[in-house]
Amino acid sequence: MQVKWCGLVDYPSTYQAMQDFTAARVDDTPDELWLCEHPPVYTQGLAGQAGHVLAPGDIPVIATNRGGQVTYHGPGQVVAYPLIDLRRAGYFVKEYVYRLEEAVIRSLAHYGVTGLRVRSAPGIYVRRDDPYAHHRPEPAAPGEDPFRGLAKIAALGIKVSRHCTYHGVALNVAMDLEPYSRINPCGHAGLETVDLSTIGVITPWNEAAQVLGQKLDALLAP
């Protein structure tokens, strides 16, 4: 997989470039991984509901064709866009999502942080009270808040066209988190969002991007 360091790039042109790359693919087109960050922007997935965008203010809201609901991108966040031919890789969408999440979990483990999954809520979460704890919190009982005691540190949204993926995963490193208060993140009212710096991990963006890129490169291999 060819890794491309894109730096700080605007979202609309990157979105268009992903679509163009995917539409132009042929059977032997090499897979790519784009690593970047975006100026402040809200993106709506296909399941997005307008009511989850509370007060965007001067931050643009862009409709996309990825799965999921509204999320925020901004400086200090590592955004990874794997452009993978799943048929050639030999695994299906469910396994692809698992591998994306596992790459984030292993990236967090690099910093001693325990990343957690929540059933039916794609993305990765950490314990608010002790993000370094190695034991999982007790699962929520039926009817209880599945996010009790958790905060989201990475969001995931993908699109698959002709067996090929685009969009991807975003890991919060050192951001201004205030814009998350203007939406219901991923459609969940009151869901807390954190970044590595909030939980005490101080790392340069380039280092976090390199760690995530390496984990994705290894885990998305055929």
Q: The pTM is what?
A: 0.95
What phi and psi values does residue 68 have, to the nearest 5 degrees? 90, -170
What angle separates helix 93-110 from helix 205-219, to the nearest 10 degrees? 140
| pLDDT (0 to 100) of residue 120 | 82
CA–CA distances in Å: residue 107 to residues 46, 49, 148, 163: 28, 31, 23, 26
Known catalytic membership, residue 36: no
pLDDT beyond 70 at 67 = yes
Question: pLDDT at position 119, please?
Answer: 85
Q: Which residues of 13-52 are buried (b: 16+ CB within 10 A; e: fewer)?
A: ebbebbbebbeebeeeeebbbbbbbbebbbbbbeebeeeb
**How far is Cα 11 from Cα 43, in angstroms, rounded to an integer?**
9
SS3 category, 29? coil
One-letter identity of residue 45: G
Average pLDDT over residues 124-137: 87
- pLDDT 10s digits, 135-169: 766 666 777 788 888 999 999 999 999 999 999 99
Domains, the chain, in order of start with CATH, read 2-219 (3.30.930.10)
> By percentage, how much of the chain surpasses pLDDT 90?
86
Please check whether residue 153 is in contact with residue 126, taking contact to mean a CB–CB distance below 8 angstroms.
yes
Distance of CA 14 to the CA centre of its chain: 15
Q: Alpha helices, DSSP H only, in the chain? A: 11-24, 86-89, 93-110, 205-219
Give dist(CA 212, CA 55) in Å, integer.
31
The Cα angle at residue 207 between residues 88 and 111, in degrees rounded to 5: 95
Check 6, 36, 164, 186 and give the catalytic one.
186
Q: What is the mean pLDDT of residues 82-105?
A: 97
Count Cβ atoms below 10 Å from residue 216 Cβ, excluding itself: 26
The pLDDT tens digits for 25-61 are 999 999 999 999 999 999 999 988 999 999 999 999 9
